[in-house]
Amino acid sequence: MEAKNPTGKTKVKRSTLADKGFNFNYHTHTYATQKGSTYIFCYEYGYLALENDEVLLVKREER
């Protein structure tokens, strides 16, 4: 996920990650926003499922 997200926030096709071997069934935690969206994280990198087979890749910000 890090290689596909060099800027910290990037949209990619879900199939692109799957083709690279990303396991969508494994995650370390989730984060629910006040607006009702749920980000799924694997350590510091996460994603939000979007429409049209896309996901928004994010990197958790340090507090």
SS (H, E, C) 16-41: HHHHCCCCCCCCCEEEECCCCCEEEE
User: Is 13 domain-assigned?
Assistant: yes
| 17: in domain | yes
Virtual CA dihedral for 20, 25, 31, 33, nearest 10 degrees? Answer: 80
Q: How many domains does the chain have?
A: 1
Tens of pLDDT along the chain (63 residues)? 667 777 778 999 999 999 999 999 999 999 999 999 999 999 999 999 999 999 999 998 776
Decide if 1 is inside a domain: no
pLDDT at 29: 96
Quote the pLDDT of residue 40: 97
Is 25 part of any domain? yes
Q: Which pLDDT belongs to residue 14? A: 96
Q: Tell how strand 38-42 and strand 45-49 pair up.
A: antiparallel
Domain assignment of residue 53, yes or no: yes
Residue 16 counted as domain residue: yes
Block residue for tokens 């910290």? 8
Would you say 29 and 41 are in contact if contact means Cβ atoms under 8 Å apart? yes
Its domain, for residue 21, covers: 9-59
Residue 51 lies in a domain: yes
Q: What is the pLDDT of residue 52?
A: 96
User: Looking at the domain assignment, is residue 2 inside a domain?
Assistant: no
Residue type for position 18: A
